């Protein structure tokens, strides 16, 4: 049975995994709000979807700003309708792969700002309407770094653990009120995200070791398909789950 079209808000949707998630929901017939701090990237993804005959809206917003988040959701509600699904995808690893001793305070704050505060602000903004309707779905894009203590950067790892904690907390508080909240924990995806993890020779060596230990690299589209599934009625029995997608990389 085909589900009725919904309004989907996806953060960090200007490129990479976020853009793939936007395409997947649009292909399923949903209206998509492409939220990104980079207006040019948001416009590009939204224009691509619109040209393909889908309903899409580009929204520039800094997810760490409560004012931006409120304005963004208000714009989406007025233009596309009530938010049925929120996908918190925006993420950063400002410290690269540095351990605690090598993380600047500014990098720590940025990671927690985008990776944890952002989802908190967005969830806080959309939850009241979801609870009033007795229905709503939230998908948080976490990481295998939020499951295992790999050397994926101290701030990034801690922030993704926190995001999974937020996911489960939302389920505990609102799961019996019609809201479902699940997390996807990808590992080793060719999304362009790793290109932003700059560093020295030691960091490059660590990245090479990570890649050599992976059964294979994932595709953004593979993460997108999981997000779409978690937001579907087919996943109605899943709430508070952290779904690992890494080709078995962290299984041993």
Residues labelled as active-site residues: 156
Provide the 10 A C-beta neighbour count for residue 239.
20
The 3-state DSSP class for residue 185 equals strand
Strand partners, 183: 140, 242
φ, ψ of residue 54 to 5 degrees: the values are -100, 160
Find out whether 188 and 217 touch, Cβ atoms under 8 Å: yes
Cβ neighbours of residue 224 under 8 Å, at least 6 residues apart?
Answer: 17, 20, 21, 23, 24
C-alpha 60/C-alpha 44 separation (Å) is 12
């Amino acid at each position: 049975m085909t589900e009725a079209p919904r309004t989907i808000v996806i953060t960090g949707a200007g490129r990479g995994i976020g853009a793939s998630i936007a395409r997947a929901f649009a292909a399923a017939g949903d209206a998509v709000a492409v939220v990104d701090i980079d207006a040019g990237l948001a416009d590009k993804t939204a224009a691509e979807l619109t040209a393909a005959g889908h309903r899409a809206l580009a929204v520039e917003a800094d997810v760490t700003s409560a004012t931006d988040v409120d304005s963004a959701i208000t714009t989406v509600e007025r233009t596309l309708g009530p938010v049925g699904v929120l996908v918190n995808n925006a993420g950063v690893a400002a410290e690269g792969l540095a351990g605690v001793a090598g993380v600047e305070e500014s990098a720590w704050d940025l990671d927690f700002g985008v990776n944890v505060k952002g989802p908190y602000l967005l969830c806080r903004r959309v939850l009241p309407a979801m609870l009033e309707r007795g229905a709503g779905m939230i998908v948080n894009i976490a990481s295998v770094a939020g499951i295992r203590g790999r050397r994926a950067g101290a701030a990034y790892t801690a922030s993704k653990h926190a995001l999974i904690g937020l996911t489960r907390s939302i389920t505990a508080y609102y799961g019996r009120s019609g809201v479902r909240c699940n997390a996807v924990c990808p590992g080793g995806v060719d999304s362009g995200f790793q290109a932003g993890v700059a560093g020295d020779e030691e960091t490059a060596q660590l990245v090479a070791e990570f890649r050599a230990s992976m059964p294979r690299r994932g595709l953004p589209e593979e993460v997108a398909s999981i997000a779409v599934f978690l937001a579907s009625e087919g996943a109605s029995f899943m709430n508070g789950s952290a779904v690992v997608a890494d080709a078995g990389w962290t299984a041993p």
